[in-house]
Amino acid sequence: MVVLVVATASDPASIGPAAAFLAMPGWSPGPPIPEGMESFTNGDVRLLKHERSIIAEDDLDNRWQAATGEAVSEVIFLSKHTAVSNRPALTVHPIGVPHLREDETPPQGGRPGWAALPNPRIGPWLRLMQKIAVDQGLVPEFEITLEATHHGPVTNTPTMFVEIGSTEEYWCRQDAAQAIALVLWKGLGLDEGNTVGSWQGNSEKVLLGIGGGHYAPRHMDIVIKDGIWVGHLLSGYSLPMEVSPQGNGKSYSDVGGMWKHSIKVSYDATKAAFPGGQVIAHLDQNQQ
């Protein structure tokens, strides 16, 4: 089983960390891949580079196995992050668009009503990223944060995004790229240490965040303070509710919409990604 790290040359916040990661010891050319992609290998880690939009590259894990014969245990995408605030940030998050109906077109990839298996490294890597960012002097300039579940592409194995935000000035920052590369290097155990965030199925608690804003501050407080594992994070916009004309919205049966489906598929995906774990719903009623 191999870990697939994916970068695209079309995104400076993706190719910058990938280049810094490849500058570290132990890399060699990887197996040949069709479709104009390039790969590199280091232990059980594979770095895949291409030139297309990451969110449009569905089933890369299955395509890798078909091309190389190597089964993929997890996927880590390197990407830029955008925000209205333009604040510099380093972020991690699970992916999926579980709140969309089948007749809706996902604006940023994925499959309507679908949630990927969340990568168990999300919580541990948030804490590792925070430590590295402090050590590298990026804090307080950069915010270190979770993001709620959003966008594609479709994957079939535990997946996470690691991002640099929020404008081109910061996407191109070499110190931010180096910090992300260090998270990968240490987190995947390539520094000859232990990997960070490998799930052992030991009945520990796993947070399923429900409600709140996109950056999940209340969920994040629990993750940072209690060292809990992280599954899907469903912000208020991922819980669309519709009150029927005959109802008053005061009972469960009166409220339709995709919110129940969104919670169910996110719970199921989290449970599957953390076999033996205790999935605990953490509610945030602040919908801002």
- Comparing 34 with 88, which gets the higher pLDDT? 88
Residue 288: the pLDDT is 46
The pTM of this model reads: 0.93
Same domain, 172 and 235: no
The alpha helices in the chain, defined as continuous H runs, are 12-22, 60-68, 122-135, 168-171, 174-187, 217-226, 259-273
Same domain, 166 and 60: yes
Q: What is the mean pLDDT of the chain?
A: 92
Question: Could you report the per-residue pLDDT of 236-245, keeping only the tens digit for each?
Answer: 888 888 876 6
98 is a domain residue: yes
What is d(CA 106, CA 71) in angstroms, rounded to the nearest whole number?
28
Tell me the residue range of the domain where 238 lies.
205-284
Question: Could you report the per-residue pLDDT of 40-81, keeping only the tens digit for each?
Answer: 999 999 999 998 899 989 999 999 999 999 999 999 999 999
Same domain, 35 and 125: yes
Question: Could you report the per-residue pLDDT of 135-184, keeping only the tens digit for each?
Answer: 999 999 999 999 999 999 999 999 999 999 989 999 999 999 999 999 99
What is d(CA 238, CA 251) in angstroms, rounded to the nearest whole number?
20
As for how many domains the chain has, the answer is: 2
Q: Which residues pair with 2 in a beta bridge?
A: 72
